[in-house]
Amino acid sequence: MIKAVDVHKRFGAHHVLKGISLEVAAGEVLCVIGPSGSGKSTFLRCINQLETIDEGAVWVDDELLGYVERDGKLHQLSDAQIARQRRPIGMVFQRFNLFPHMTALENVVEGPIRVLRESRDTAHARGLELLERVGLQDKGGAYPSTLSGGQQQRVAIARALAMRPRLMLFDEPTSALDPELVGEVLAVMRDLAGSGMTMIVVTHELGFAKEVANQVVFMDDGRVVETGPPDQVLVNPAHERTKTFLSAVL
């Protein structure tokens, strides 16, 4: 479902992604681990076209991101075409990024009403279903400031799901949470993975990765150092750098 081939990204002279290649099949969960600054967030942002890539290519559902081939040449897509490509990709960030002046339910239904042109009734009914799915059926009327970090992050997941994504990207979704709130967010993500959602999850939660991931990628300094099933990468890593990282995180 996702194929990245030799993706490079530079910020000025700073070469941040140095040839990332990987594939994720439909329904798979890929966990990405690696030290701070290794390019994990940048890679997710490239998949979601929040950044443009300098070399290489990414396909989502067999569609090349950012370009269309015409007359044997690649042409850059328009902003509207890029917006259309981004729509089936949901993203959840470390910081919850909810609209503070809107209730939980309003946060969830905003995109479906404005972007998907769903009727208010349809959007609200689905919004309530989604809040129930993340365990917040009684919080629809609550403002973000009255919710815990874990609850806010679950609203953020419901909001992303409301856009009917085929792919969900998570960028350290539990890193900003108090430890006792991490489990409730991971439980929602585990449930989502169990429902067959294709997911790429950047996380330091190795227990989650071990249990839920089909594939783990260890990134360091803009490169994929090692990739494989969790039992291999997390338990019997082949590379010294992976071993060093794991022993520092555990």
Contacts with ligand ADP, residue ranges (CB under 6 A): 11, 14, 16, 34, 36-42
* Cα distance between residue 60 and residue 85, in whole Å: 9
From candidates 20, 24, 41, 111, binder to Mg ion by CB under 5 A:
41
Name the amino acid, one letter, at 121.
Answer: D
Calpha distance 209→136 (Å, rounded) = 25
Count the neighbouring beta carbons within 10 Å of the beta carbon of residue 145.
Answer: 9
Residues 218 and 204: their CA atoms lie apart, in Å, by: 11
Nearer residue to ligand ADP within complex by CB, 14 or 70: 14
Q: Is 42 in the site for Mg ion (CB under 5 A)?
A: no
* Bridging pattern class, strands 63-64 and 55-60: antiparallel
For ligand ADP, the closer of residues 130 and 168 by Cβ is 168
| Nearest distance, CB of residue 69 and ligand ADP, angstroms | 29
Q: Least Å distance between CB 169 and Mg ion?
A: 12
CA-closest candidate to residue 2, choices 44, 52, 55, 50: 44
Closest contact distance (angstroms) between CB of 51 and ligand ADP is 7
Kindly tell me which of 11 and 99 has the beta carbon lying closer to ligand ADP: 11
- As measured in angstroms, the least distance from the Cβ of 14 to ligand ADP is 6
DSSP state of 146: G
Please say which residue, 40 or 154, places its beta carbon nearer to Mg ion. 40
